[in-house]
Amino acid sequence: MLFLTSFRVSHGIRLLVVAALVCAAFKGELRAVPPSPGNGPPNPDLDSWSFNSAGWASDRGFAPISYSTNLMTSDLGDGTCLVMDHTNAAWLQYNVTESDGTNELTLNQGTVTLWFAPDWTDTNNGGTGPGQPGRFIEVGTYTTNASIGWWSLWLDKTGTNVYFSAQTNGSATTYFSAPVTWNLTNRWHMLTITYCATNSAFYWDNTLVTNGLPVTTWPSPTVQSNGFFLGSDSTGIAQVHGMIDDVQTFSYPLASSNVAAIFQQESFYYYANPLNRANFATDPSYPTNTLYFSVVSGMGGLTRIGTNSCVSSSSFWLTNFTASAMSSTGTVTVTFGIAGGWEGLTGPFDVFATSILNATNISYSPWAWVGQGYSCYTYSLILSNSPFSAYLLLGSPQDSDGDGLTDAYELLVSHTNPNNMFSAGDGIPDGWKVLWTLSTTNIASQDPDRDALLNLQEYSWGSNPTRNDGLTPWVGSPNTASGIP
């Protein structure tokens, strides 16, 4: 059922409000698996932890040394994730080297990448931070005189800086410190460190934040035999107080392109998860060069300019319209509020715009997605000035097939099946195609970047289908499990 309400405002702009009465029922759960490291082999060099296995086993089946019984999981990751957030001591401990000689972590050179979402905001954004230094990953024990041996990626108590440090035999080094911003609780970011004898580096999502010192200090084999901890120190007290997911370790430093490739694949699963979509209430669109991203979420072309009165209702609608033309720029600025919604459904609501309305079937109109907004807030949108009418449509957050595209987006923009994430039947989710601005038809056997990797291979291996990576000698079989189950 649809409610259609037409309003005429100044400068010949006509706004059409379409409020769909659809409940916000989400189906499906998105899970990531270890992607290929870009131009490297199709599997991680060491191991990974997606926390989908019983008994906290790694993705390669290695059991932990020990763990506290108060550990929990959450569905706010790409599927399930580790929750390291407890009043009492909590820990999760793994071997650095397994009994069969398998290395799980290398300390002199390598890469560690993980996803983290805090239950706090940092002190620069009015929050508390974790309250004490928290450990993302740690070997050994920190001491004031470096008498034991220590190696750690850690966070300060304010949540504003990340550090990579080590100690051994009385020597202590901090390889880098980097400022970070956690301005939203449960907001996921990917953290990556690369390190070797010549330098170290820290990446925030897919962006290089800082280069650091060469790694020359690490704990002794005796200390390493006690394993490493995720999300806390060995006492279980120095917790990061948040969620950790998709930890991966490599025995070599990844290049920036490799880090970007991992982020591009994994971010799809985190940001397409409907339970995580609210994290983008005030975030800009990603990528910034296209309307379509992870898959469709964020402010887009909308600017939040204030609040309006909140009204609970079984429907939702656009209200309080104004429009003003700027002859110097040839644009019209439209302002409107979003109202209604019932408990548990305040958004994000998709906002669509068109200048041509097909009165017979509105889905046939050339709709463009312009952003997302929440009930009780007022937004502005800049439209091109023209003598024609402009229409706005408001869509609910429902994503029936769990592909990261709302039902409204699939019906109006991508024209894909909202009840089938593989509308073209080619094994590639509709959301992945939209993410990379590809056709939503059957494109499995196409190679638009001419790098000898077909689109289905690019999807399976987590590589970029729009960037030519050359005739890379991919080893082994593609990780076909990287689709959405």
pLDDT band at 309 (very low <50, low <70, confident <90, very high): confident
Would you say residue 227 has pLDDT above 70? yes
The residues, ordered by sequence, that sit 6+ positions from 416 with a Cβ below 8 Å of its Cβ are: 405, 410, 423, 424, 430, 440
Residues 160-165: what's their mean pLDDT?
A: 97
pLDDT band at 394 (very low <50, low <70, confident <90, very high): confident
The residues, ordered by sequence, that sit 6+ positions from 460 with a Cβ below 8 Å of its Cβ are: 478, 479, 480, 482, 483
Cα separation of 28 and 79, whole Å? Answer: 10
- Residue 123: the pLDDT is 93
**2: number of CA atoms within 13 Å, CB side?**
13
- Residue 395: the pLDDT is 83
pTM value surpassing 0.95 = no
pLDDT tens, 463-479?
788 887 655 434 444 44
pLDDT tens, 2-26?
233 333 322 222 233 333 322 222 2
Assigned token pair, 125: 């954004």
Would you say residue 281 has pLDDT above 80? no
- Residue 483: the pLDDT is 33
The residues, ordered by sequence, that sit 6+ positions from 94 with a Cβ below 8 Å of its Cβ are: 49, 58, 62, 64, 65, 104, 105, 227, 228, 229, 230
Cα separation of 142 and 151, whole Å? Answer: 8
Cα separation of 92 and 231, whole Å? Answer: 7
Ordered alpha helix ranges (H), 221-330: 221-224, 256-272
Q: Which residue has the higher pLDDT, 355 or 29?
A: 355
Residue 189, number of CB atoms within 10 A of its CB: 17
- Among the residue ranges 48-62, 153-167, 467-481, the one predicted with the least confidence is 467-481
Cα separation of 278 and 340, whole Å? Answer: 17
- Among the residue ranges 73-87, 126-140, 263-277, the one predicted with the least confidence is 263-277
Would you say residue 225 has pLDDT above 50? yes
Q: Which of 101-110, 308-317, 386-395, 472-481 has the highest mean pLDDT?
A: 101-110
Q: Which residue has the higher pLDDT, 236 or 126?
A: 236
Q: Which of 236-245, 330-339, 362-371 has the highest mean pLDDT?
A: 236-245
Would you say residue 146 has pLDDT above 90? yes
pLDDT band at 293 (very low <50, low <70, confident <90, very high): very low
Residue 425, number of CB atoms within 10 A of its CB: 9
Q: Which residue has the higher pLDDT, 51 or 320?
A: 51
Assigned token pair, 485: 């189950």
- Residue 344: the pLDDT is 58
Would you say residue 424 has pLDDT above 80? yes
